[in-house]
Amino acid sequence: MNKEILSRRWCDFQDSLAHMLGINIAVIGPGGKLIALYNGLPFHYDYYHSPELTGLIEGYLIKLTRFSNRRGESKVVEDPLGILAVPVPLEGGLFLVLSGGLNKEKKLCRQFFLERLKEYGLPKAKEISARIRTISPAELQKKAGSVGTIYRLLNHALSKTKKLEEKTTLLAVIDEINKLTATLFGPRFFDLNRFLGFVVSSLIILCDADGGFAFCLSDTGGATVYRGTDKEGFLKGLENKWLTAVEQGKNPIKAIKQHISSGAKKGLGDFAIEKFCVKIKDFLICLGVVCSRSRYVKTVLSSFAQQSLIALEVFSLYALLRQQLGIILNSVRHGIIVINNRGNIMLVNRAVADILAGYGIALLPGKPLDGLGMCQAIKMAIHNAITAGEYTLQKKSVLGEGKNLRYISWDVTPLMRSDKIIGAILVIEDITESESLHTLKEDWERLTTASEVAAGIAHEIRNPLSTAGAAIQLLEKVSEAGRRKELLGKISTELKRMNNILTDFLNLSKPKSNLVLEQVDLLELIEEMEYLFQSEAYLHNVELIIKRPQSFPPVIGEIIGLKQVFLNIEKNAIEALMSKSVSEGRRLVISFDFDDNNACVSFEDNGPGISPEHLRIIQRPFFTTKKSGTGLGLSISASIIKRMGGELCFESYSGRGTKVSVLLPLGAKNDKK
């Protein structure tokens, strides 16, 4: 075994095995001496850059081989760099040490690894660390089990003079190799070239051949591999023939058949080609060996060809599934972003790009979501999902501003495997349209409010109208210039007043355009609206008191929006007061207040008040206690005030009345609009 294991064929075989499994295989001689090392890990595992590390590793290998016992299960341990390794005892005092990657189950494994690399002065530490994979001890143990069995079976067969001529042993090895290749089909990547490389080097050993090849063609791609001694470039030529035929859309099997027979004609007759081609569905696979000395070549080839086909089929199904998944994900309206537990984006569907287009938020797989302009609340929710498994559902956020403004609704769900958090899923939905519908509803509500106040307005308009009418009648009779001027002045004032009332009425029913914030003098605004309040109050026998301060600072707001909010609040107060009899006294007090940052206008009624249970939900859309109420007034008012950067506050005690305050941010000092 000792000699055989260092032969060219075995080197090829072990190298392919290491690459296919993505592990390192170290062959250790008696006394812990490293005989050969095959690099299958995705970085150059060069321990010998640091003499200090070399000594450490050698000591470690001796210890490791002593540590494992011959019969029992080998234990998975960590090497001095923190990489998982498992010793596999062979016959003749030989050992294999398989190392597979960083311990998947250890939290700080990568950090530890990086520190060790730096400590031992290995160059390109960061690069190496980024490339190395993680593996669970159980996974490595499983791979080690298969590798150990293959080596033992091969050794057993080779130790006999007949060399692998025993069919049962041969089949046992093939079986074991098949099992090993089957372990590859997890959700991991599948590399056709590596797989075929392993198949060919196994074939060479099992058929006791000088060389071999595996050419494959499928709708998901193709590959060609040849290994072993290539006498007079025969295998290279074979590969060229295959590739040219594929390129030209010709039958590649026919092409290589010609090459084989022409080789024989050229006197290369001792090639003893045994080939095996199979075509199932979309797969065409052609395996062959050159100069085989085994009687069982056909058995081995057909068995490997079948196995390769199964592997390819699984691979293509898997590829198809991934592709379908992509199609499904891309066809949904919702944006879906999958983030791993390190906060890096793993998957982004097309809808995400549509939703985020134009916001300079580029979400690319592999990049961290952090720092990409995503709003803080989303980042926080993802952090909470990854670290604590928290769900954040049905949240709303705003992206951009002005015409570019979009409303999104989003959910963050932790992504679990078994009971481990492996990442998070962010689902976003563009709700700008439905939010626009909400705005429409606001307009509709404005109209109902308007129609209701129209009665009050009609009443209000009648007064100036009759005053003006009387003045006009008088004007016809009066001839004195001074008196006429006075009457004309009166008519003009009354007409102005009517104009104001109508303007307000029109303002109220006009659909709301985009909110324009400006400095607003609340005192002035309330004064302008006084006649509206008064007319409502008058109609309902409510005593209206406005407590005006001497001066009041300007606030930031929007006049039309504020008017709607004030009317809504007043209307609610009056409606509440209707439950009281006139004799009990219906009162509504409007007062003003401010501090360093905010100013507020309060509407306080002495109505029935709001119960604590209701107080919590009155701002919800459609919550109403009235027969013909819409339940939209307060929710709309609250959203209008919120957009101005303010807040609606309620204080209420059952039976004693309600105080609704409209809190608004203060405007710039000494800067009236």
Would you count residue 607 as binding Mg ion (CB under 5 A)? no
Q: Are 275 and 149 in contact (CB under 8 A)?
A: no
User: Please, what is the minimum distance in Å from the beta carbon of residue 575 to Mg ion?
Assistant: 7
Would you count residue 633 as binding ligand ADP (CB under 6 A)? yes
Phi and psi, residue 15, nearest 5°? -65, -45
Nearer to Mg ion, 294 or 572 (CB): 572
3-state class (DSSP) for residue 392: strand
d(CA 338, CA 329): 11
- Span 648-667, contacts to ligand ADP by CB under 6 A: 658
Task: Residue 574: count other Cβ atoms within 10 Å of its Cβ.
Answer: 22
Nearer to Mg ion, 509 or 598 (CB): 509
d(CA 503, CA 513): 16
Would you count residue 534 as binding ligand ADP (CB under 6 A)? no
Among 605, 648, 663, 664, binds ligand ADP (CB under 6 A): 605
Nearer to ligand ADP, 356 or 618 (CB): 618
Residue 532 region, left (φ>0) first, then alpha (ψ -120 to 50), else beta? alpha
- Over the window 305 to 324, marking each residue x when it contacts ligand ADP by CB under 6 A and - when it does not, the resulting string is --------------------
User: Please, what is the minimum distance in Å from the beta carbon of residue 619 to ligand ADP?
Assistant: 7
Q: Could you tell which of ligand ADP, Mg ion, none binds residue 14, using a CB distance below 5 to 8 A set by kind?
A: none
Phi and psi, residue 268, nearest 5°? -95, 40
Nearer to Mg ion, 22 or 633 (CB): 633
Among 590, 634, 663, 664, binds ligand ADP (CB under 6 A): 634
- What are the CA-CA distances from residue 65 to residues 98, 142, 150, 160 (Å)? 12, 19, 19, 27
Characterize the bridge pairing of strands 345-348 and 657-665: unpaired
- Span 27-66, contacts to ligand ADP by CB under 6 A: none
Nearer to ligand ADP, 264 or 454 (CB): 454
Nearer to Mg ion, 288 or 657 (CB): 657
Q: Could you tell which of Mg ion, ligand ADP, none binds residue 576, using a CB distance below 5 to 8 A set by kind?
A: ligand ADP
Give the angle 373-377-378 at the CA atoms, nearest 5°. Answer: 65
Would you count residue 631 as binding ligand ADP (CB under 6 A)? yes
Would you count residue 624 as binding ligand ADP (CB under 6 A)? yes
Q: Which stretch binds Mg ion (CB under 5 A): 83-91, 211-219, 420-428, 625-633?
A: 625-633
Would you count residue 149 as binding Mg ion (CB under 5 A)? no
- Span 473-502, contacts to Mg ion by CB under 5 A: none
- Span 567-596, contacts to ligand ADP by CB under 6 A: 568, 572-573, 576
Characterize the bridge pairing of strands 95-103 and 134-135: parallel
- Span 216-235, contacts to ligand ADP by CB under 6 A: none
Q: Are 224 and 287 in contact (CB under 8 A)?
A: no
Beta-carbon contacts of 582 under 8 Å, excluding residues fewer than 6 positions away, are 541
Size of interface with ligand ADP, in residues (CB under 6 A): 20
- Over the window 533 to 572, marking each residue x when it contacts Mg ion by CB under 5 A and - when it does not, the resulting string is ---------------------------------------x
Nearer to ligand ADP, 179 or 614 (CB): 614
DSSP per position, 591-606: EEEE-SSEEEEEEEE-
Would you count residue 451 as binding ligand ADP (CB under 6 A)? no
Q: Which position has the token pair 């199609």?
A: 327
Among 82, 288, 557, 607, binds ligand ADP (CB under 6 A): 607
Helix (H) or strand (E) holding 409: strand 406-417
Q: Could you tell which of Mg ion, ligand ADP, none binds residue 607, using a CB distance below 5 to 8 A set by kind?
A: ligand ADP
Would you count residue 623 as binding ligand ADP (CB under 6 A)? yes
| 110-128 burial: b if 16+ Cβ within 10 Å, else e | bebbbebbeebebeebeeb
Nearer to Mg ion, 498 or 573 (CB): 573
Would you count residue 423 as binding Mg ion (CB under 5 A)? no
Q: Could you tell which of Mg ion, ligand ADP, none binds residue 625, using a CB distance below 5 to 8 A set by kind?
A: ligand ADP
Q: What share of the chain is helix, strand, coil (3-state, %, to 5)?
A: 50, 20, 30
Q: Could you tell which of Mg ion, ligand ADP, none binds residue 392, using a CB distance below 5 to 8 A set by kind?
A: none
Would you count residue 630 as binding ligand ADP (CB under 6 A)? yes
Nearer to ligand ADP, 413 or 624 (CB): 624
Nearer to ligand ADP, 141 or 658 (CB): 658
d(CA 649, CA 414): 36
User: Please, what is the minimum distance in Å from the beta carbon of residue 610 to ligand ADP?
Assistant: 5
- What are the CA-CA distances from residue 175 to residues 178, 303, 658 (Å)? 5, 9, 83
d(CA 611, CA 135): 60
Nearer to ligand ADP, 260 or 610 (CB): 610
Greatest pairwise CA separation for the chain in angstroms? 144
* C-alpha torsion angle, residues 666, 667, 672, 673 (rounded to 10): -120
Nearer to ligand ADP, 306 or 630 (CB): 630
Nearer to Mg ion, 68 or 572 (CB): 572
Among 32, 100, 335, 633, binds Mg ion (CB under 5 A): 633
Give the angle 612-617-620 at the CA atoms, nearest 5°. Answer: 165
Which tokens belong to 42? Answer: 């995705």
d(CA 62, CA 452): 94
Nearest-CB residue to Mg ion?
633
Beta-carbon contacts of 247 under 8 Å, excluding residues fewer than 6 positions away, are none
Nearer to ligand ADP, 61 or 565 (CB): 565
User: Please, what is the minimum distance in Å from the beta carbon of residue 576 to ligand ADP?
Assistant: 3
Q: Which DSSP symbol is given to 511?
A: P
- What are the CA-CA distances from residue 496 to residues 259, 310, 454, 485 (Å)? 105, 90, 18, 16
Q: Could you tell which of ligand ADP, Mg ion, none binds residue 631, using a CB distance below 5 to 8 A set by kind?
A: ligand ADP
Q: Are 37 and 27 in contact (CB under 8 A)?
A: yes
Name beta bridge partners: 227. Answer: 212
Q: Are 657 and 605 in contact (CB under 8 A)?
A: yes
Radius of gyration over alpha carbons of the chain, in Å?
A: 42
Which tokens belong to 595? Answer: 């501090």
Q: Could you tell which of ligand ADP, Mg ion, none binds residue 491, using a CB distance below 5 to 8 A set by kind?
A: none
Among 69, 466, 625, 654, binds ligand ADP (CB under 6 A): 625
User: Please, what is the minimum distance in Å from the beta carbon of residue 569 to ligand ADP?
Assistant: 7
Give the helix ranges, DSSP H, for 415-556.
432-477, 481-509, 522-539
Residues that bind ligand ADP (CB under 6 A): 568, 572-573, 576, 605, 607, 610, 618, 623-626, 629-635, 658
Residues that bind Mg ion (CB under 5 A): 572, 633
